[in-house]
């Protein structure tokens, strides 16, 4: 994600699967209603770098740490930010979304922009993987490091910055 300090993006943001999924939704012009409550993890890259630096000083016996923002948005924050920005994204049933996705995948001029969703799958049989970084978060708090709150402003700034760099499809 972009830096918290100024919104500047990491140089390789085009290879970020989550960012590519946003472009896929923009190209599709729709988003499944059921996905609006899905958590969206946005960790500003400068905050991640600071966390990793601090965590690198932990004892070698501590072998698994998870340096990501413990505050979450949900996909609704990002989808509504995209709509507020001006992208026409309709909220639809899973069935309609999956049908449209499969039809768009047949169009080579559009399918190249849908790769951001391929690893997420479009079926309804998903198994959530629990994640918990409370131990890491406590270590960071102990070292006076805390994550910024994810908010609506960050979502809109994210969409504006991506569009300003020509990431979205006209």
Check if the beta carbon of residue 145 is closer than 8 Å to that of residue 54: yes
- Which band of pLDDT confidence, cut at 50, 70 and 90, is reported for residue 6? low
More confident residue, 166 or 5: 166
Residue for token pair 């948005």: 73
Answer CATH for 13-164 from 3.40.50.880, 3.90.650.10, 2.40.33.20, 3.40.50.720: 3.40.50.720
71-81, pLDDT tens digit by residue? 888 999 999 99
- Angle (CA) 146-47-120 rounded to 5° is 105
What is the pLDDT, as a whole number, of residue 157?
Answer: 87
Check if the beta carbon of residue 39 is closer than 8 Å to that of residue 71: no
Length of the chain: 170
| Tokens at 73, concatenated | 């948005």
- Which band of pLDDT confidence, cut at 50, 70 and 90, is reported for residue 4? low
The model's pTM: 0.81
14-70, pLDDT tens digit by residue? 767 888 999 999 999 999 999 999 988 888 888 999 999 999 999 989 888 999 999
What is the pLDDT, as a whole number, of residue 23?
Answer: 95
More confident residue, 36 or 6: 36
113-164, pLDDT tens digit by residue? 898 887 665 555 566 677 889 999 999 999 999 998 877 788 888 899 889 8
What is the pLDDT, as a whole number, of residue 14?
Answer: 72
Residue 120 to residue 6: CA distance in whole angstroms: 30
Work out the angle between the directed axes of helices 152-164 and 17-28 (0-180°, nearest 10): 80
Residue 26 to residue 113: CA distance in whole angstroms: 9
Task: Look at residue 85 and tell me whether its pLDDT is greater than 90.
Answer: yes
Domain boundaries, the chain: 13-164
Handedness of CA 12, 42, 77, 154 (dihedral sign): negative
């Amino acid at each position: 994600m972009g830096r918290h300090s100024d919104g500047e993006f990491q140089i390789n943001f085009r290879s970020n699967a989550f960012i590519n999924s946003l472009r896929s939704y923009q190209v599709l012009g729709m988003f499944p209603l059921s996905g609006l409550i899905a958590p969206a993890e946005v960790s500003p890259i400068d905050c991640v770098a600071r966390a990793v630096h601090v965590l690198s000083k932990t004892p070698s016996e501590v072998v698994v740490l998870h340096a990501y923002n413990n505050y979450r948005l949900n996909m609704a924050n990002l989808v509504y930010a995209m709509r507020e920005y001006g992208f026409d994204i309709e909220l639809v049933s899973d069935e309609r979304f999956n049908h449209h996705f499969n039809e768009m995948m047949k169009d080579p001029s559009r399918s190249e922009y849908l790769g951001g969703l391929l690893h997420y799958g479009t079926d309804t049989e998903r198994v959530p993987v629990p994640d918990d970084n409370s131990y890491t978060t406590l270590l960071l708090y102990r070292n006076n490091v805390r994550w910024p709150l994810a908010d609506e402003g960050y979502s809109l700034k994210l969409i504006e910055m991506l569009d300003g760099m020509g990431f979205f499809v006209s």
